[in-house]
Amino acid sequence: MTTAEFERMVRKALEQLPEEIARALDNVDVVVEDLATREQLVGTGIEEGAHLLGLYEGIPLTDRYGYDMVLPDKITLFQGAIEAICDSDEEMVREIRDTVVHEVAHHFGIDDDRLEEMER
């Protein structure tokens, strides 16, 4: 799949977010890269060679104070990793949406432990 086709799927997933969540994504860029770099894997608990699907880099809303004139937070979706675990376009759209929601949760200050707890 080309990057442009994947980015169309990402836009579709972003359009499916509830309006109140989409509005809260102020000063957040969503970008696509092929695979996570070694530097991006540091601190994730994921070993090199494993599939990191997405990454939130920034200051969660819960930790912000005096927040102005700063670069945007960034959500990176890793196309190669998502493609590696999906068997169809439909599955890929679902995985992109789920990954976006997971990374948006980090933007709202929800950590992985709390996310796992919420999924039970």
Mapping DSSP to helix (H, G, I), strand (E, B) and coil, where does residue 75 land? strand
Residue 119 has pLDDT above 80, yes or no: no
Whether the per-residue pLDDT at 104 is higher than 70: the answer is: yes
Name the band, by pLDDT with cuts 50, 70 and 90, for residue 79: very high
pLDDT tens per residue, range 12-52: 888 888 887 787 777 889 999 999 888 888 877 777 667 89
pTM over 0.95: no
In the predicted structure, residue 78 carries a pLDDT above the cut 90: yes
pLDDT surpasses 70 at 2: yes
What pLDDT score was predicted for residue 82?
A: 95
Sketch out the chain's domains with CATH numbers.
Answer: 3-119 (3.30.2010.20)
DSSP labels for 31-63?
Answer: EEESS--HHHHTTTTPPTTS---EEEES--GGG
